[in-house]
Structure 1
Amino acid sequence: MNTQSQYGAQPPLQHPVPTHPHYIPEPPSTPASPQGYMRFTSTPPIGTHGIPLGPQHFQGYPQHQSFAAPGVGVTTQIHSQPPHIPDYAAAWGVDGATAQLGMQLGQSAVAAGHEYVQKNFAGLVPVSLLKHHFNVSNSYVLRKLMLVLFPWRHRPWVRRIKRSEINGQSEGYQPPRDDINSPDLYIPTMALVTYVLLAALQSGLEARFNPEILGLATSTALAVVLIEFAFIKGGCYFLTIQGQSQVIDLVAYGGYKFVGIIMTLFAGLLNLGRMFYWMIFIYAFSANAFFLLRSLRHVVLPDPTSSPANVSVGNANTITPGQRRMRIQFLLFIAVTQVVYMLIMVRV
């Protein structure tokens, strides 16, 4: 009885029931700087107990690149020097391999674009000729501007020939840097841009500015240059002028008129009266006409003795007096028509 009461006082025995605590994994800590991220890299393999495998587990495999995760100080031995990571790339969290790949792709794209331009446009606009006509210096620009504005007493007008230092053979004409009589594209280009800006400024001061004036002035100037170029080339064709003058040379000569036009527009901005304005215009036209008369003489009446060997000018001594007279008249007509071109552009 006592034994039963003793057993009855004790609680019944029960088998323990296994319970698993609810565990919520914490997110990985965010590094303080973007450099802590290792983007586009592989994470280390995880073992059976959730511990990253160290280098001792990969002794049978070749190791060429180090792998590391933030917060885990496990790295493998590397065998090559990592590429240099630019500062701007590392600031955005891009690793060395990605930055190096981007640089290689960029260089390949630039090379492909350069090759495409050379293949498709080198025949239309030779890059070597453009480099030749933009080979200028500060002293040349100043002396050339003085020559365009005051050409009356300049001597001589013959272009210099460039000769080889090895055998002394002629290799074309000297660049503008070394010859003031050589045409360039720097002054016409800068003068064209200045002309467009002055035309817009003048229209603004007259309270009639419109953004379309910029396009109108640019298109008018380019149309005038192209029309003049087509007229000169057509005249040379009908007069059987065999001088193989470069297209860029004729465009450059046609662009020097913008210097006189700029001077005329400045005179108009000063508001010194209509008489002063037209006096400046007449002088600018006369200077430009005289400059073209002397500069285009070697185009209309080429001289074989003053031309390089690689420029075919034919036999200038075989032209008849009648042909010579017609060529001179054609040259005079080119100079006189400058007044028409300049009047069109000063009234934009």
Structure 2
Amino acid sequence: AQHAAPAQYGATQQQHYPAQQQQQAFQAPTTNSFPGAQFINDPLIASAAMQYGQNLMGQGQEFIDKKLEKYMSVSKLKYYFAVDTQYVIKKIKLIFFPFTHSDWSVQFEQSEGVEVQPRHDVNAPDLYIPTMAFVTYILMAGLSLGLMDRFSPDALGLQASSAVVWLVLEVCCVLAALHLNSGAVVRRPLHALHVTALAGYKYPGMIVMLAAGMALPGPGYYAAQLYCSAALALFMFRTLRSQIQSVPGSEDNNRYGGGGGGGYGEGSKRRFYLLMFLTLLQPLCMWWLTKSVVYTTAASL
């Protein structure tokens, strides 16, 4: 009985030895034990692999850019976002106070004959302000709906989608009007991006209208609507007038004397009607897109 304990102790040691051997047998192999591990650790091969990956990404980006160029010029799109803080401040001031500005002509680079970037010319259109203002307008609409206990994700999504649809229709109407008006020519091409930028300048005024409606329900909204609509109409008229002019040798001018003869012919009338249509279209859209979400109370209804 006295020798039983050492026998059990020896048996316990013999039981632990196979377990330790199994643990050593299943230890994870080191990195150098994998086939080709020396190639992974080689800095030359790693650098070559990184260079190959960068070239592959560059080719993919080039492929995407070529596909996008078929539908939209990436270089032109970058031009409309070439803004800085100083330009944004001056542009917003110009939108709300157009009567303080005198020179509305767009500047061109003398060496290449192309328009300068918006950051260098406050009269150049951009898409940064319309994009940011559109997002802010949707947020303000959601806040206004929430104050009236009408907020829901579906209502906010419907408001955003309807604003996009109206913007597309507005751009199409402007492009169609420019195309049908053969008695006027533009000094620089008013393509879809240019027209979209001009159409997007109504959103800052819409933000002010909704904010005024929440601050002073009823009178605040209508006062802001009156001023913002008048300011935007003047801004649009002066901007488009500097870019749309009668064609000196066009058929309308030769027939009706709307060109160099100094008469107020049919060509000049069509140009005036075109400007008025493009100018008054913006305030109308401002009213239409804010009338259903403006904050109202029982007293103002």
CA distance in 2, matches of 1:39, 1:149: 69
Structure 2: which 5+ residue stretches go unaligned? 1-13, 259-264, 294-301
In the alignment, structure 1 residue 162 sits paired with structure 2 residue 155: no
Give unmatched runs, 5+ long, in structure 1: 1-20, 43-63, 67-77, 85-95, 165-169, 303-314
> Which residue is 1:300 aligned to?
244
Q: What CA distance in whole angstroms lies between the structure 1 residues aligned with 2:173 and 2:217?
A: 35
For 1:149 and 1:316, the matched residues in 2 are separated by 34
- Cα shift at 1:181: 0.3
Match of 1:180 in 2: 122
Q: Is 1:28 aligned to 2:21, yes or no?
A: no
2:34 aligns to what?
Answer: 41
1:262 matches 2:203: no
Question: In structure 2, how many angstroms separate the alpha carbons of the residues matched to 1:182 and 1:126?
Answer: 18
Which residue in the other structure is 2:84 paired with?
137
Distance in 1 (alpha carbons) for counterparts of 2:22 and 2:197? 74
Aligned to 1:146: 93
Cα distance in structure 2, aligned partners of 1:208 and 1:39: 66
Return the alpha-carbon distance in structure 2 between the equivalents of residues 277 and 162 of structure 1: 42
The structure-2 alpha-carbon separation of the partners of 1:81 and 1:109, relative to structure 1 and needing over 3 Å to count, comes to: closer
2:139 counterpart letter in structure 1 = L
Whole-angstrom CA distance in 2 between matches of 1:231 and 1:328: 17
- The TM-score normalised by the length of structure 1 is 0.67
Residue correspondence of structure 1 range 9-28 to structure 2 within 5 A:
24=18, 25-28=21-24
Which residue number corresponds to residue 222 of structure 2?
278
For 1:249, the aligned partner's letter is H
- Code of the aligned partner of 1:196: I
Where does residue 132 of structure 2 map in the other structure?
A: 190
CA distance in structure 2 between the aligned counterparts of 1:157 and 1:29, rounded to whole angstroms: 82
- Give the structure, 1 or 2, with the largest relative contact order (CA under 8 Å, sep 6 or more): 2
How many equivalent residue pairs?
261
The secondary structure found in structure 1 opposite 2:285 is helix
What SS does structure 2 have at the residue aligned with 1:158?
coil
1:109 deviation in Å?
A: 5.7
Change (3 A) 1:100 1:289: same
Q: How does 1:1-348 map to 2 (within 5 A)?
A: 24=18, 25-28=21-24, 37-38=30-31, 41-42=34-35, 66=38, 82-83=42-43, 107=54, 110-164=57-111, 170-240=112-182, 241-243=184-186, 244-270=189-215, 272-301=216-245, 315-316=247-248, 318=250, 319=253, 320=258, 321-346=265-290, 347-348=292-293
The 8 Å contact of residues 162 and 174 in structure 1, kept in 2 or not, is answered as yes
TM-score (norm 2): 0.76
Q: Could you report, residue by residue, the CA deviation over 1:143-201 in whole angstroms, capped at 9, with x for unpaired residues?
A: 1000001101211100111122xxxxx42111110000000011000001101111111
Contact 1:236 1:300 in 2 (8 A): no
Partner letter of residue 246 of structure 1? H
Whichever structure has more helix as a proportion of its residues is 2
What is the CA deviation profile of residues 82-137 of structure 1, one whole-angstrom value per residue up to 9, with x for unaligned ones? 239xxxxxxxxxxx96x985x56864663343133222211321111111111111
Task: Give distance in 1, aligned partners of 2:60 and 2:164.
Answer: 27
**Whole-angstrom distance in 2 between the partners of 1:113 and 1:267:** 48
Q: Does the 8 A contact of 2:232 with 2:283 survive in 1? A: no
Which structure has the greater CA radius of gyration? 1
1:259-308 alpha-carbon deviations (Å, 9 max, x no partner): 100000111121x2311220111111111111100111234326xxxxxx
* Contact preservation (8 Å) 2:199, 2:282: no
2:114 match: secondary structure:
strand
Q: Percent identity?
A: 30
Aligned residues of 1:267 and 1:276 also touching (Cα < 8 A): yes
- Mean Cα displacement is larger for which, 132-141 or 113-122? 113-122
* Greater Cα shift, 256-265 or 206-215: 206-215
SS of equivalent residue, structure 1 residue 301:
strand
